[in-house]
Structure 1
Amino acid sequence: MGEIKIRRARAADVESIVRMLADDQLGATRESTADLAPYLRAFELIEADPNQLLVVAEDAGEPVGTLQLTIIPGLGRGGALRGQIEAVRVRAGHRGTGLGERLVRWAIAESRRRGCALVQLTSDVSRTAAHRFYQRLGFTASHTGFKLPLPADGQ
């Protein structure tokens, strides 16, 4: 492993990011590089929003880790900003090197720099190893999350 650089993602990184998202038991069923068009449209929206940061960890010019950080304004907690970390992934060959921790610590520091009062994230209930990882970094399991899929046909 060479010198790792964390930088803002570029459109050229999208395929590598999607491959990382697809490289686990959950992502394998919902992500695919067969058609990058929807991912590229999402990337354009992310890039256009100043409260969104999609970053990659780069090793020798190749994306080997990624996460998305969203800065959420809200009225709760006295009008506090929150940093929301999503989609933390590290390429298989770089797992166990501390790169995931480095990415999350980068997101925490960036949230602090932007004036956030807290950093939050969600993790699928089946990702028990990820839960231990986040707890080791100081996160507390504090809420129960709910999701409601919205079918494309509006039903």
Structure 2
Amino acid sequence: MITAHVESFEENLDYLKPLLPIHYQELALNQDKVPLSPQFDKYIAAENSGELLFIVLRNAGELIGYFIGFVAPGLHYSTCLTCQMDIFYVHPDHRGSGAGFQLFKFVEDQCKKRGVQRLFVGSKLHKDASWLFERLGYSPVETYYSVWLGD
């Protein structure tokens, strides 16, 4: 049975680390130029200040997915507590089971408990999950563009 939980990022780092390369290989752009090298200390500092929302999906105790978001007043809208998604992932073996819906319904519930008024999430266009957010009733609001400017 798949369950969702708010857990400590720092305490789960050793369990999270094996999933990050799988997530990176599937979704990251410019992998030939930008290696996976998370600033774990920044995540831990955000968690310690109460600004990190770390939610895990577990199947019989095994970590199979996660959501990481940052909770703070909006930079342009200081009166609006906002959760900005950093990353989310559901292991491919558990997609199609409703795990993504379960994850984001739990994210919504936890955001509401924290007093969050607005939640921003996103989807990579080359591995599109927009259908998930549309089925959850989210509205598209912006498209990001990227260009490699390095060497």
**Could you say which TM-score interval applies, normalised by the shorter chain?**
0.7 to 0.9
Specify the alignment match of 2:113 in structure 1.
Answer: 113
Residue 59 of structure 1 aligns with an amino acid whose one-letter code is N
Deviation at 1:7, TM superposition (A): 3.5
Residue 138 of structure 1 aligns with an amino acid whose one-letter code is G
Which ranges in structure 1 are unaligned for 5 or more consecutive residues?
none
Q: Distance in 2 between matches of 1:28 and 1:73?
A: 31
CA RMSD, aligned part only? Answer: 3.0
Q: Secondary structure at the match of 2:126?
A: coil
Q: Secondary structure at the match of 1:24?
A: helix
Deviation at 1:98, TM superposition (A): 0.7
Give the alignment's TM-score, normalised by structure 2.
Answer: 0.76
5 Å matches for 1:1-155?
Answer: 2-8=1-7, 9=9, 10-26=12-28, 29=31, 38=38, 40-74=40-74, 76-77=76-77, 79-128=79-128, 130-146=129-145
Deviation at 1:26, TM superposition (A): 2.9
The higher-RCO structure (CA 8 Å, 6+ apart) is 2
Give the alignment's TM-score, normalised by structure 1.
Answer: 0.75
Deviation at 1:88, TM superposition (A): 1.5
Q: Does the CA contact (< 8 Å) of 1:69 and 1:85 recur in 2?
A: yes
Q: Distance in 2 between matches of 1:118 and 1:45?
A: 23
Q: Does the CA contact (< 8 Å) of 2:4 and 2:55 recur in 1?
A: no
Q: Secondary structure at the match of 1:50?
A: coil
Q: Distance in 2 between matches of 1:115 and 1:17?
A: 30
Q: Secondary structure at the match of 2:125?
A: coil
- 1:56-110 CA-to-partner distances (Å, cap 9, x unmatched) read 2111221001110211213645711011223211112111111111111111111
**Percent identity over paired residues:** 20
Q: Secondary structure at the match of 2:97?
A: coil
Deviation at 1:136, TM superposition (A): 0.9
Q: Does the CA contact (< 8 Å) of 1:17 and 1:66 recur in 2?
A: no
Matched residues, number? 146
Q: Does the CA contact (< 8 Å) of 1:52 and 1:68 recur in 2?
A: yes
